[in-house]
Chains A and B, each alone.
Chain A
Amino acid sequence: MIRFENVTYTYPFAEKPAVRGINFEVRPGEVVLVTGRSGCGKSTLMRLANGLCPGWFKGRLEGRVLVDGKSTLELPLKDMSRLCGTLFQDPEQQFFALGVEDELAFVHEWRGLPAEETREKVRSFARSFGIGHILGQSIHELSEGQKQKVGLASIMSQEPKALILDEPTANLDPESTVELAHRLRMLKESGMAILVVDHRLYWLEGVADRVLVMKEGEVAAQGNFGLLKDDGLRASCGLRGWHVDDARPHLPESAAPAAESSQPERGFRMEGVTFAYKGQAPIFEHASAFLAPGVTALIGDNGAGKTTLARLMTGLNKAQSGRFFFDGAEIAASDLLRRVGVVLQNADHQLHMKTVAQELEVCLELAERLEKQAAKQKAREGREDAAAQQCPAVSRPRAEQVRELLELFGLEGLAERHPQSLSGGEKQRLVIACAFAKRPRVLILDEPTSGLDGENMRRIANALRLLAEHGACVLIITHDLELMKLSCSRALRLPLTAGKNTGPAPHNADKE
C-alpha cells in the first residue's frame, strides 16, 4: 500500500538529505512503527508517505514513494488525501470547526456531498468511534483522547486505504493509549495499512508487525517488535523502553510528617484551600496537600483539577481561602510566584529572546533580581529567611551558570540559535532549563516529556532528580509512565482529602 523504493529526500536550502536510501513497505492489514532519536528523519518519512514532501515542502526527491501503486509525485495532494489519511500529534491543530459535529461534516461539505449523505456519514462514524454523545460539544471541551477520536473519525469518514499517525500518544493518558492500541488492531484487521511514527514503544507491543529504527536519516535496523528488546540498539538510537510497568499504583502517598514528629518540617504545604471557577462548583474544598523534598507525581483523572492545583500552588489562580507554608513558615499567596517555579505545557509561549544563551541569561538575571527584592523585603521586616540560607544567591559569573545549564540539558551546541528555530524537544528542554535558572524551592512541571525521545526523557528525569537532591520539591503532572518510573518517589493523588494531609489518602489507583 505504501512503498518506499530507494528514497533520498533533501529539503529546500538544505545541504544534506534528511533521509537517505530508504526501502520499506507497509502492506494492507499491517502496522509499521517508525522510531528513532529526535531529528533522525521520522517526520520526513511520514511527510514523504502522505505526499507533503515534496508536494507542500518542495525539495528534491530521488527514488519513488508509491501509495496504492501510484507515485506521490504524480498524484495531487487532494487525491493523495483520499488514499492516505494523516493524524497529527495535536489533532486540534487540524480542526477547522469549533463543534465536533461540524468538524466531522466539514470535509464532506466542501467535497459537495448532498446534505443527507453528510449527515449519515457523521452519524455512522460518530457511532463507530463512540463519540455520538459529544457531537454537540465544542472541540475545546474535549479531552486529548476525545480529540484524537474526533480527528481519527474525521479521517476514517473519508475512507482512506492507508493511515499515518504522527506521535499519536504524546498527549494521551495511559488509558486512552490502550484504547488507541485497541482501535489500531481493529483497523488493521479491516485491512488498513498503518504507519505509526512514535517515541513511545510499549503500547505497540502485539500491534506493530514491523519496526523501523531510524538513525541520522537512514534505517539503522528493521525487524519485528522483538528487535526493540535489544538494549544496545535502544541505547545507541536514543529509544524509550519497549515495556513499561505502570508505577502509579505503587507510588507511596505524599504526606506531611506526623504532628508529634520532633523533626522540623521540610517542604511545601497548603492547608484548607477552597477554590471554584466563577459560577461553577468548587474543585477544591478545604483541601490540603504536602510536598516533601523529592520528585512527586500528581495523579488524577481527566478533569480532577491537576492543572488547577498547580496554578493554585504557584499563585497563578487565587484560592478563595487557604494557607501556604514553606518549611513550616507561612507565606502569602501573593508571594508564591516568586518562590515556586512552573513550566507550562506549550514551550512556544515561553521563548522570547534572540538566542538560547540570551534566554537563559535573562532568566538568571530575573531570578537574581527577585532574590534581591526578597532579601530587601525580609531585611525591612527584620525577618530571617531560612529559605535564602538554604539556597543562597549564587555569585558565580552568569556565563558559567549558562554553560552549566546548557550542558545539563544537552543544549551546548545550540547556544547561538534562535530559540523559536529549535525543534519541539529542544524547546521543551530549554524552557525547563529556564525554570532551573530561577533556582526554585518548588518546581511544578506540566507534561515535561511529551514528545521527547528516550535519551532526552532520561536527561530530564536526571535533571529533576538532581534538583530534588538539592532539597527542592518537584511536582510533575504527567501521563508519561516511563518518566514517572524513572524519577518519581511518591504521588499526590486527586481528589485531595479535606483537613490536614498527614497520612495516606484513600487510594484511587484503580481508577487510574
Chain B
Amino acid sequence: MQASSVSSRFEAYAAESDSSVKMDARSRMAVSLFMSAVTVCISSVEGQAVLLVASFLYVLSIRRWKAVGIAYAFLAVMMCIAVLLTYGISLLTPIMPFSPRGIAVPFMRSAEMMNVVLPLALTCRIQELLTALKGLRLPFCIYIPAAVMIRFIPTFMHDIRQVAETLKIRGYSLTFGEMFRHPLMMLRLMFTPLLFRSLRTSEELGMAAELKGLESGSCFVPFRTQQWAKRDTALVLLAVAVAALALYVHFKFGTVPTRGMR
C-alpha cells in the first residue's frame, strides 16, 4: 500500500506538473545530455552566464515554482558552505588565494545541470523514461542497468521512508542535532537496511533476468512507438542555438578565471 501510494503520488506529481506543455521524454533527455557536454566545454563566466539564463528560463517553463525554489535553496546552502571553506583555506594557505570568479564557474555549472534535470525529473513519468530508453535501442549492458535503476526509484523512495519510520517507531530521535552528535550511528541506522535491501534486490533481479531468458546480445524490438512532436524538435534546436550562442560569447568575450576550478 505504501509503495503504491508513493509511486502513484510520484507519477501523479509528474503528470499534473506537465499539464502545460507535454514534451517527449527523449527530447528532455537529449537537452540534459547536450547541456552537460556544453557546460564542460565552456569555462568562462560570460559563456556560463548565457547557459545559466537560458536553462533558468527552461526550468521556469515547467511552472513548478515550489520544487525549483527548494532546489535553489539547497544549492545556495551548498554554495555558502563551499565559499566559507574555500575562504578559510585561502587564509591558511596563501598560495591558494580566494577568487569569487573562480568559484562561480563550478556553481553555475551545477545550477545549469539542475535546471535541465529538473524538467526531466518532474515532468516525465518513470514509464516514459523507460520507454524512451527502449526507443534509443541502447546495448543490453547499458539499457538493463539504466532501466532497473529508473524502475526502482519509487521502490527506493519507499524504502528510505520506511527505514525512517522504523527508526521513529523504535524511539530514535531523527533530528539534525542527533545526526551531528552521532553521525556514525545515524549512518548505520539509515544505510544498513538500505544496503542489504539493495543487495537482495539486485540478486533477485539478476536471478529474475536469468529466469526470463534475458542475455547480452539479445535483439530488441520495441512493441510501442513514441510520439515525437514538432515542439520536441524545436526544443532540441533551441538548445543547440543556445549552446552556439554560449560558445560564441565564450570565445569572443569570455575571460577564463586564472584561479579556482575551470
Contacts and interface: CB of A to CB of B under 8 A. Distances in A.
Interface of A: 50, 52, 55-56, 77-79, 81-82, 85-86, 88, 93-99, 102, 105-115, 118-119, 122, 138, 140-142, 154, 158, 277-279, 307-308, 314, 316, 337-338, 341-342, 344, 346, 348-353, 362-363, 366-367, 369-370, 420, 434, 438
Contacts of B4: 140-142
A506 B208 CA distance: 45
Interface stretch (B43-51, B71-79, B190-198): B190-198
Given A81-B212, A88-B204, A349-B166, 11 more contacts: A56-B210, A78-B210, A81-B211, A96-B208, A97-B147, A109-B220, A110-B220, A111-B218, A115-B223, A119-B223, A140-B3
B214 A314 contact: no
25 contacts: A52-B207, A52-B211, A77-B210, A78-B214, A88-B208, A93-B201, A93-B208, A95-B151, A96-B147, A97-B151, A107-B212, A111-B218, A112-B219, A115-B221, A141-B4, A342-B169, A344-B165, A346-B162, A349-B197, A350-B193, A351-B192, A351-B193, A352-B188, A352-B189, A366-B171
Contact of A55 (B147, B210, B218, B220): B210
Interface of B: 1-9, 11-12, 126-127, 130-131, 134, 140, 144, 147-148, 151, 154, 159, 162-163, 165-166, 168-172, 188-189, 192-193, 196-197, 200-201, 204-215, 218-224
Contacts, number: 164
A158 B188 CA distance: 43
Contacts of B223: 105, 108-109, 115, 118-119, 122
A56 B206 contact: yes
B213 A367 contact: no
Most buried by B among A52, A111, A307, A344: A111
A106 B223 CA distance: 9
A420 B1 contact: no
Contacts of B213: 77-79, 81-82, 107, 111, 158
A98 B212 contact: no
B203 to A, nearest CB: 9
B214 A98 contact: no
Contacts of B197: 346, 348-349
Q: Which of A97, A99, A102, A110 has the most CB of B within 10 A?
A: A110
A352 B212 contact: no
B196 to A, nearest CB: 4
Nearest to B8: A141
A94 B204 contact: yes
A96 B151 contact: yes
Nearest to B148: A96
Candidate in A93, A348, A420, A434 with the most chain B CB atoms within 10 angstroms: A348
3 nearest CB pairs, A to B: A112-B219, A140-B7, A366-B171
Nearest to B192: A352
Nearest to B134: A109
Contact of A99 (B8, B127, B148, B220): B127
B171 to A, nearest CB: 4
A308 B1 CA distance: 9
B171 A367 contact: yes
A491 to B, nearest CB: 20
Residue from B127, B151, B205, B211 whose CB has the most chain A CB atoms within 10 Å: B211
A344 B196 contact: no
Nearest to B144: A96
B196 A316 contact: no
B208 A366 contact: no
A420 B131 contact: no
A260 to B, nearest CB: 37
B199 to A, nearest CB: 9
Nearest to A55: B210
